[in-house]
Structure 1
Amino acid sequence: RLATQAGERLVELRAKMWAAGAISWEVMDGGDMASHHFLTGELAGARPDDAVLSEEGVDDPRRFDVDRVWIIDPLDGTREFGEHGRLDWAVHVALWEGDRFAAGAVSLPALGRTFATDPAPVVPQFTHDRPRLVTSRSRPPHIAGIVARALDAEPVHLGSAGAKAMAIIMGDADIYVHAGGQYQWDSAAPAAVALAAGLFVSRIDGSPIVYNDPDVWLPDFVVCRPELAEQALAAIAAA
């Protein structure tokens, strides 16, 4: 619910700012902060005992003393949000409880779609000849090229991490490999939804991803159809 509502507000704000003649950086900054304040305000009112880890907020040390921590990226793909016509930006909301996800949602507001852990989305069957590997449109990591060659994968370029992971959920891609720079809020909600949908999710060394760690830096991430995981991880390990 919150991810969808935040996304609807962002769509409206973006249109109003463009109509008012705002320039790109104003649209990006306005979207980031408006969504952050909306989400944190709603969570503070509904779940005052929970902690929040947000890209746009100050790290709350209470997150190490409570069982429930909301990990949010109020606007993932800020660059794309600030470009006319781009659809590949998202809102991420995940709930980490103890040592696992309790809930998560990724909203793709420009598409009018939200993917959540309950009910879990159903991934379409693999019906094409070559797998499709989704990666950054502006900074594709070297490791993604290695995996693409190993799997003879067709490249797909998108912005937001949430948009990339949800491309697999929608059947528009089959594997997403990232290395070189992300934070917990970039991957938490996409990981929660992908796991609920039965996809493979790990670090690039194949180890499980752990959230609510003191270090918010979480630089690498793999999401893919389970049948591609072994080959993808082998290509990464051999690199």
Structure 2
Amino acid sequence: MSTLIRIASKLACLILLATLVLPCPTLAHRVTVFAWVDGDTVRTTSQFSRSNKVHSGLIEVMDAATGELLVSGRTNNQGEFSFEIPPAVRARGMDLRVALKAGEGHAGEWIVPAAEYMVQAGAVPSRRSEQTEQTETSGQAKPVETSGQAGADPAVTPQVSADMQAIEQAVERALDRKLAPVTRMLAEQMQAGPSVPEIVGGIGWLVGLAGMGAWLAARKKK
């Protein structure tokens, strides 16, 4: 009985040591890709873990609905790949599926909804055209009044509207640039490895299983 206990104790110590020293295969082989919109560009980052980026991984961008290949390329040494959104993609309002192939069967994917790049590019279009049309229509429907009061210059309203839209777009681009690092930080947090409580819990399970095995072996000997 004491021999079995000693064996179980040694086994538990070996399991504990292996868990702390050797990388977990599941974590070592896990690969993820994250994509986000930055103005007219989609940026991606790919990694096995926070400190292990995917080098020269194949990125394929497809129409999420049909699987049609739109863009492809390789990640750089930092696991990054970016591409400009093709006009045809924007015109058709495609959801994009960003697929990563990192070799040895490692693969991951991320969906970029059309709404993300349409909004950032100001492609919820027709606000500008509708305002222009309304201005033109009202200008045609109402003849110039020749009363003694000074009327508003018809050319002022479209100009002010265009200036406001230019300001809105400039602010959106500035926000995109400022938020890009935040987006990257969130992506890294999503890829974070197991926490200390999770590791300790896993070790506890292994030790418990080793003890149960020793107890069962002792019962069989009796």
TM-score normalised according to structure 2 size: 0.22
- The structure richer in helix per residue is 2
Larger Rg: 2
Higher relative contact order (CA 8 A, sep 6+): 2
TM-score normalised according to structure 1 size: 0.21
